[in-house]
Structure 1
Amino acid sequence: MLTRMILSLSAVLVWSATASAATKRYIVTFKNPGTFHEVASSFKGGLNLFSQNEAMAVSRAVQNVEVLDRVEMLVVEADSQGLAQLENLSEIANIEEEQFFPAPSPIGTFSHVPTSLKAFPTNVERPWGIDAVKAPGAWQITKGEGMTVVVIDTGIDEDHPAIASRFLEGRNFLDTNNPNDYSDTVGHGTHVAGTILADGLNHGLVGVAPEAKLKSAKVCGNLGCSTVAIASAVNWAMEQQAQVVNMSLGGPFMTFAEKKAYDAAEAAGTMIVAASGNNGNNKVSFPAAYTTTFAVGAVNPDLTKAQFSQWGPELDVVAPGVDVVSSVPVGSGRTSQVMVDFGKGSEVLKSTSFQGSAVSTVEDMPMAYVGLGKPEDFQGVDLRGKTALILRGEIRFSDKVQNAIRAGAEAVMIFNNEPGLIQGALTDDGSELAIPVVMVEQVPGQRMKDLLAKGSEVTTSMGVVPADYAAFQGTSMASPHVAGVATLVRAANPSLTPAQVRALIKETATPLTPNNENQMGSGMVNAELAVQKARESMQLDRVVGF
């Protein structure tokens, strides 16, 4: 029976390999684990079941087969006729076509556009989230030494100064023809990795578990995130014996194969932490919603729920997810520098840049106030050789800036209409404009406006320069905080299972209110208390064992 099944599957895969019709990738699962392992072994060299001709045919077909041993699945390539034959094999439990869901998108000052300018060597202060999750208190016991974390995401900049010392290896599961190209052209994976384990040795960026080691699995790209790539990456993480996996990605649907993969990871001792989603509704996305993963929502710096953070009964905990500073591919970050001469010497102003701003600077340039930046505000205003000062409000940032460019402005400074600073995007496709654009706070902006209204001259030296760090927001940024805490907990007590780690982190979390409909889960993770409890449990186990 088994031999007939293998022969039948071989014939189907040979057809897929030789057919001229377009093929697709599928995940194949079996009803019986024994059947899977027998079939899998035949594609890994056990060809004694076949005649010489059949063996040659199978060896050709192996090019279209990937065996995922740890999750007990096959990844195959087949056309419609090959798929029909697969569906007729009674030993197969399920066949899933490869699906793509949107890749996680950075929300912050980041650019996909390469620059030849040297990155601005910013000295990064310790991100607020590190103290919010009480990681420094946990470092008295462990910093994550001996632990391996796999980040399943958009890839990694392995040479980033905050990550390079912790990086072990990476793999591209999205493009099987280029498995060694795990570079991060999106920026998301590098940012996530920095939050988990940046070493704190270069420019100050430190992660939650700064002595853990990193492996990167690239599963997302321009087309989105592949379900086949994700299953392969989870299988690889298990092969690598990773203690923790972070998945700051997700979609609205669940699949049979995906659930099987996460259950297998749980059984193997690999803990998976995932983001709850950024649609702001009461439905936790997958994979976070599975019972064997750990679902993480996001909070603001004031520990209120982030507006975008998804919630529901599956939400486990929350963590910092707004204005989170971390690593991005070298030179792809954007930082602003603003000096303004109010007539009594130059002052340095707090500022932020916009995604889509040009990487350039202006010096000692006079300013002109143009209201809200509507078309009518530019009538009769000569902006040639000047920086346009614009008040935030009523129309989009991108419209304000485009109106200023049409009026001849060489730079734009937007000042807030409320306390603080915010970030925004000036282009929808990641491209960059021809002039630098920054935002400053409300009070200095109003001061400039008042001086200009009196006829006084106000000049600025300002601009946007490349950086190796950027501030993002999203549950994607919250999840790695928790992955870092889980890494510390497992380092403090390696005998704990994923289920025990989840329970311990929830038990030691700080409750947050209001918590209607479980919007905050068990609360803000507390690394210090969780690690203390983990170490105490290990010591207790030793006493009982003695």
Structure 2
Amino acid sequence: MVRHNRRSFLRLTGTALGAATLGAGTATAAPSDSRFFINLRDVDRSEVPDDIEIIHDLSQADVLVARGDQERVNGTTVADRVIDRGDDRTGAVKSRGGPTTDGKGSSHNHDGAPKNSEFQWDKRVQGVSNELTDKPGGGKSIHDTTTGAGTRVAVVDSGVYDAHPDLAGVVNDELSENVSEDEYDWRPNGAGSHGTHVAGIIAATNSNDGPDGGVLGTAPDTEIVSYRMFSGEEGKQGDGYAGWVKAAEANCDVINYSVGFPAPFVYVDQYPFLTEELRIAEQVAEYVRSQGTIIVNSAGNDSLNMSPENTLSIPTEAEGVFGVAATGPIGCGWGGKHSDNEAKWLTGNRLEDPTDSPAFYTNYGNAVDVSAAGGDADLDALDKIPEAGQDLVYSTIYETDENGNTVPAYGWKAGTSMAAPQVAGAAALVRSLRPDASVEEVESLIQKTASSAPGDETYHGAGHLDLKRLVKRA
């Protein structure tokens, strides 16, 4: 097996990979036409001209999202930013579709085509449930203790396709909201299945009664609230922050925000506006945390060292935001003599890289609080061996069939976007056991119970997410 590894080279040279390939759910961070933030800690609200349109009033955080002539506002303002999810540039590698919910698995196996849940190495290695096949019927699982009941997780993203059988009854359609400026509801509208994939990682219920079953989330009894910030392929950071505030005021326990600025929009000397962007993010985060809501954010997919003073990855580096780096295996169900035996995929020395190994694309450094499963890839093998895609994370998506109908399906994605919802689901498990735990207590529990992993704190912060230790401690 050829191992495609550029991590050591990137660390030595400080080079960041192109954002068009490896954006952290982003491809640009261009200013939004005429939209900007007003920082009310520097601007008197009464002095904002009447012809400046207020798109989102976030005065709880001393922030306004406005449209108009930015130059007419005396005081601190900074342009709102466009986040682009066009051309499948939302992850570390190109997404891969899988079977529809009534289809058959394509891989062949010693005991037949694998069930959908058998592709979930991320859940199996954590012992989430005995419904999965790592140790069928044996031992106590995470879900024997808690499934996240009584909690609420906001997914601020591209919308959630709630017609998927594994997400049926999961999304609160009364609280969910479109926070973009288009006229549609909170379901996906042109930015793909990124938010649906994230929602499945958190809360999929494995309810598909088709021949291959479904997939299972970390906290299948939590409630998802969808805040759609993307209209078409573009989302705006100000809409994302509006989703944060709404989630906090809807009593969400945690926000999953798999969105952020990509390289090169991380270098303060090139883009000095980042300093003011950071202030906005921190003010909104401060308010959200005061309401008891945790903000979990993907660290980014640029192989970027976030520690140097001249780098600033927003919002990961904002005070009050919990940053998650990505890990993943190489060789899950391919490249070895036992690749036809899914029960042995995660055992012994059959993986080229273990599941807690840093992914080749993940950002790293001081802003990482913990790492979690986001998927990895041998890029040389990925284009040649179909099964190599099994090192990515498998979850709920939707597709368009030959008749133009939207149909529920499953697929693989990789990125810190997939790692963050692992932690968001874990936070829901903690809150289900300890409803009165503060934001700081939940974050501390996740960090203190994290396991050591290859790469140490550089890539993992306090360590790698460990659900067994976390739930036991909680």
Q: Provide the TM-score with structure 2 as the length reference.
A: 0.66
Q: 1:100 is paired with a residue of what secondary structure?
A: strand
Q: For residues 274 and 423 of structure 1, what CA distance do their matches in structure 2 show? A: 24
Q: For residues 108 and 120 of structure 1, what CA distance do their matches in structure 2 show? A: 22
Q: Could you say which residue in structure 1 is the equivalent of 2:404?
A: none
Contact 1:132 1:320 in 2 (8 A): no
Measured after TM superposition, the shift of residue 180 of structure 1 is 4.8
In the superposition, relative to structure 1, how do residues 225 and 65 fare at CA in structure 2: closer, same or farther (>3 Å)?
closer
1:186 to 173, 177, 192: 192
Matched, 1:105 2:90: yes
Instruction: Give the structure with higher Rg (CA).
Output: 1
Deviations 1:502-527 (A, max 9, x none): 11111001111332x61122222112
1:295 to 309, 318, 323: 323
Which segments of 5 or more consecutive residues in structure 1 lack a partner in the other structure? 1-21, 44-56, 325-353, 355-391, 398-413, 425-431, 433-465, 535-546
Matched, 1:274 2:297: yes
Q: Which amino acid aligns with 1:519?
A: Y
Q: Could you say which residue in structure 2 is the equivalent of 1:265?
A: 288
1:135 to 125, 128, 134: 128
Deviations 1:306-339 (A, max 9, x none): 1111100121111111169xxxxxxxxxxxxxxx
Q: Could you say which residue in structure 2 is the equivalent of 1:74?
A: 64
Q: 2:172 is paired with a residue of what secondary structure?
A: strand
Contact 2:189 2:231 in 1 (8 A): no
Contact 2:189 2:230 in 1 (8 A): no
Task: Map 1:120-519 onto structure 2 (within 5 A).
Answer: 120=103, 123-126=115-118, 127-136=120-129, 137-169=141-173, 170-178=176-184, 180=186, 182-183=188-189, 185-202=191-208, 203-251=213-261, 252=266, 253=274, 254-283=277-306, 285-301=313-329, 302=354, 303-322=356-375, 421-422=388-389, 468-515=409-456, 518-519=458-459
Q: For residues 33 and 453 of structure 2, what CA distance do their matches in structure 1 show? A: 50
Deviations 1:225-261 (A, max 9, x none): 3121112111111121110101111113443212211
Q: Could you say which residue in structure 1 is the equivalent of 2:39?
A: 29
Q: Could you say which residue in structure 1 is the equivalent of 2:271?
A: none
Q: For residues 389 and 430 of structure 2, what CA distance do their matches in structure 1 show? A: 34
1:86 to 65, 73, 85: 73
Task: Map 1:513-528 onto structure 2 (within 5 A).
Answer: 513-515=454-456, 518-528=458-468
Contact 1:165 1:199 in 2 (8 A): no
In the superposition, relative to structure 1, how do residues 64 and 181 fare at CA in structure 2: closer, same or farther (>3 Å)?
farther
In the superposition, relative to structure 1, how do residues 504 and 118 fare at CA in structure 2: closer, same or farther (>3 Å)?
closer
Q: 1:297 is paired with a residue of what secondary structure?
A: strand
Measured after TM superposition, the shift of residue 281 of structure 1 is 2.1
Contact 2:248 2:293 in 1 (8 A): yes
In the superposition, relative to structure 1, how do residues 73 and 298 fare at CA in structure 2: closer, same or farther (>3 Å)?
same
Q: Which amino acid aligns with 1:220?
A: F
Q: 1:193 is paired with a residue of what secondary structure?
A: helix
Q: For residues 451 and 366 of structure 2, what CA distance do their matches in structure 1 show? A: 18
Contact 2:366 2:458 in 1 (8 A): yes
Q: 1:162 is paired with a residue of what secondary structure?
A: helix
Structure of higher RCO (CA pairs closer than 8 Å, 6+ residues apart) = 2
Contact 1:100 1:223 in 2 (8 A): no
Measured after TM superposition, the shift of residue 469 of structure 1 is 0.2
Contact 1:138 1:532 in 2 (8 A): no
Measured after TM superposition, the shift of residue 125 of structure 1 is 1.6
Q: Which amino acid aligns with 2:237?
A: T
2:473 to 533, 538, 542: 533
Q: Which amino acid aligns with 2:72?
A: Q
Q: Provide the TM-score with structure 1 as the length reference.
A: 0.58
Higher strand share: 1
Q: Which amino acid aligns with 2:197?
A: H
In the superposition, relative to structure 1, how do residues 146 and 32 fare at CA in structure 2: closer, same or farther (>3 Å)?
farther
In the superposition, relative to structure 1, how do residues 62 and 513 fare at CA in structure 2: closer, same or farther (>3 Å)?
closer
Q: For residues 435 and 190 of structure 2, what CA distance do their matches in structure 1 show? A: 31
Contact 1:66 1:76 in 2 (8 A): yes
Q: Which amino acid aligns with 1:78?
A: G
Contact 2:95 2:412 in 1 (8 A): yes
Q: Which amino acid aligns with 2:57?
A: V
Q: 2:290 is paired with a residue of what secondary structure?
A: helix
Q: For residues 65 and 184 of structure 1, what CA distance do their matches in structure 2 show? A: 22
Q: For residues 272 and 503 of structure 1, what CA distance do their matches in structure 2 show? A: 14
In the superposition, relative to structure 1, how do residues 174 and 218 fare at CA in structure 2: closer, same or farther (>3 Å)?
same
Measured after TM superposition, the shift of residue 283 of structure 1 is 1.8
Measured after TM superposition, the shift of residue 533 of structure 1 is 1.6
Q: 2:61 is paired with a residue of what secondary structure?
A: coil
Q: Which amino acid aligns with 1:273?
A: V
Higher helix share: 1
Q: For residues 187 and 86 of structure 1, what CA distance do their matches in structure 2 show? A: 38
In the superposition, relative to structure 1, how do residues 235 and 120 fare at CA in structure 2: closer, same or farther (>3 Å)?
same
In the superposition, relative to structure 1, how do residues 232 and 505 fare at CA in structure 2: closer, same or farther (>3 Å)?
same
Deviations 1:465-522 (A, max 9, x none): x87000111111111111110110111101111111111111001111332x611222
Deviations 1:382-425 (A, max 9, x none): xxxxxxxxxx88xx95xxxxxxxxxxxxxxxx558xxx62489x
Contact 1:172 1:182 in 2 (8 A): no
Q: Root-mean-square deviation (CA), in Å?
A: 3.5
Contact 1:143 1:212 in 2 (8 A): yes
Measured after TM superposition, the shift of residue 132 of structure 1 is 2.7
Q: For residues 229 and 129 of structure 1, what CA distance do their matches in structure 2 show? A: 31
User: Percent identity over the alignment?
Assistant: 24
